[in-house]
Amino acid sequence: MARRYGGNPAAVIILIAADIASLILILWILFFLLDANRANDLVNWVHHSANWLAGWSRDLFTPDNAKWRTVLNYGLPAVVYLVVAHAVAGRVNRV
């Protein structure tokens, strides 16, 4: 697995953490778009985790359509986490 992520253990940890954070955010977007049952424990956990991960970007965009609002406000941090993690991991690999 280390080879897939670049080799350096610190870079691997950074990339895995960003992958997990982005996965949680994307899962919440999918659950919301597909009208998942919010009373379900998994959906509830993903929702609360996504709210925490996207705390800095929630309500950044305020379109009238709730689905677009969710995609934008939770999709942005997913992309930012991945881009920043890959930049930092690349830098760590060079050290």
Question: What local confidence, expressed as pLDDT, does residue 58 receive?
Answer: 84
Question: What local confidence, expressed as pLDDT, does residue 5 receive?
Answer: 56
52-67: pLDDT as tens digits: 999 998 889 999 999 9
What pTM value is reported for the model? 0.88
Question: What local confidence, expressed as pLDDT, does residue 6 receive?
Answer: 56
pLDDT above 70 (res 92): yes
pLDDT above 90 (res 87): yes
Q: 13: which DSSP letter?
A: H
For residues 88 and 76, give the distance between their C-alpha atoms in angstroms, rounded to a whole number.
Answer: 18
For residues 39 and 55, give the distance between their C-alpha atoms in angstroms, rounded to a whole number.
Answer: 22
For residues 4 and 38, give the distance between their C-alpha atoms in angstroms, rounded to a whole number.
Answer: 35
Question: What local confidence, expressed as pLDDT, does residue 3 receive?
Answer: 52
Question: What local confidence, expressed as pLDDT, does residue 7 receive?
Answer: 73
Q: Residue with structure tokens 């995609």?
A: 71
For residues 47 and 80, give the distance between their C-alpha atoms in angstroms, rounded to a whole number.
Answer: 19
Q: Residue with structure tokens 């305020």?
A: 62
**Domain regions of the chain by residue span:** 2-94
